[in-house]
Amino acid sequence: MLDLELDRVLHALADPTRRSMVERISAATALSATGLAEPMDISLAAVVQHLKILEECGVIRTEKIGRIRSCRLQPEALSLVASWMHERRRLWELKFDRLGELLADDPADESESS
């Protein structure tokens, strides 16, 4: 189940327009869909479609009051990605540490210095 959630979040964040939207939403307490569309060269309908994808994967939450749809960041979804990346980094660092140990113990280095 976690893999499916992670896949959805990574898919949503793979699009540069959606990443830009997430950055703008995270810089504000809440932002309207119209406010998100203003600086972008896409229609309000396209913005709403992007918001739907971000909301379905849990990156944002939208709320419609009257005619205004406001968007808020849901950091839990981003922490899922951060945890996954942290684990990958930890594993690679362990591999590089082991490689460093192997290179430090290389007998070829000792015979060349004699």
CA 29, 32, 38, 41 torsion-angle sign: positive
User: Which has the higher per-residue pLDDT, 18 or 105?
Assistant: 18
Q: Specify if 101 maps to a domain.
A: no
Amino acid of residue 50: H
Beta carbons of 12 and 60 less than 8 angstroms apart: no
Summarize pLDDT for 4-40 with one digit per residue, the tens: 889 999 999 999 999 999 999 998 878 888 888 888 8
> What pTM value is reported for the model?
0.75
pLDDT at 51: 94
Q: Specify if 39 maps to a domain.
A: yes
Residue 41 domain boundaries? 2-76
54 pLDDT band, cuts 50/70/90, is: very high
For 65, the token pair is 């009051």
Q: Specify if 90 maps to a domain.
A: no
d(CA 47, CA 101): 51
68 pLDDT band, cuts 50/70/90, is: confident
Alpha carbon separation from 108 to 96, 100, 104, 114 (Å, rounded): 20, 15, 10, 10
Give the count of domains, the chain: 1
